[in-house]
């Protein structure tokens, strides 16, 4: 699957906050086969982004949430390399395998014991918790 950002059928809301939103899978990829999974993950992010926008959150808040979703997506792709069998799972199932009510997986390059990184981890986990609640309540 490829997302054509020039097509009229794509959701343009994420582009209002990150012009390269639909290029994130290319940034995350370690291997070419990561792009399809990355695109499937993006499609799961879009309803949450619409929800944030619909709740009239500040632009800066939405950008922080989206930035954290970008980190989360990147970490999922990295972890899939260690669990290749998950690559064929539906994107929502993969996301729920790495999310729970406490947050998301700590990115491999972040040290939870480093004081200066704790605020990033706290914000990231907050985004992951909210995304987890959202996708669990989505009908």
Residue 113 lies in a domain: yes
Domains in the chain, number: 1
Residue 5 lies in a domain: no
Residue 122 lies in a domain: yes
User: Which tens digits make up the pLDDT trace of 83-110?
Assistant: 999 999 999 999 999 999 999 998 877 7
User: Which tens digits make up the pLDDT trace of 7-60?
Assistant: 445 689 999 899 999 999 999 999 999 999 999 999 999 999 999 999 999 999
Supply the range of the domain harboring residue 115: 13-137
Mapping DSSP onto H, E and C, the string for 76-114 reads: HHHHHCCCHHHHHCCHHHHHHHHCECCECCCCCCCCCCC
Residue 17 lies in a domain: yes
Residue 2 lies in a domain: no
Residue 126 lies in a domain: yes
């Amino acid at each position: 699957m490829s997302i054509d950002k020039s097509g009229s059928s794509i959701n343009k809301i994420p582009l209002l906050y990150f012009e390269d939103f639909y290029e994130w899978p290319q940034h995350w990829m370690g291997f070419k086969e990561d792009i399809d999974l990355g695109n499937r993950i993006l499609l799961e992010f879009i309803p949450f982004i619409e929800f944030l926008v619909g709740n009239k959150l500040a632009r800066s808040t939405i950008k922080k949430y989206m930035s954290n979703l970008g980190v989360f997506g990147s970490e999922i792709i990295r972890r899939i390399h260690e669990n290749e069998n998950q690559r064929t799972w539906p994107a929502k199932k993969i996301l729920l395998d790495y999310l729970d009510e406490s947050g998301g997986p700590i990115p491999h390059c972040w040290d939870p014991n480093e004081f200066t990184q704790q605020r990033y981890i706290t914000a990231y986990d907050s985004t992951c918790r909210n995304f987890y609640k959202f996708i669990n309540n989505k009908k």
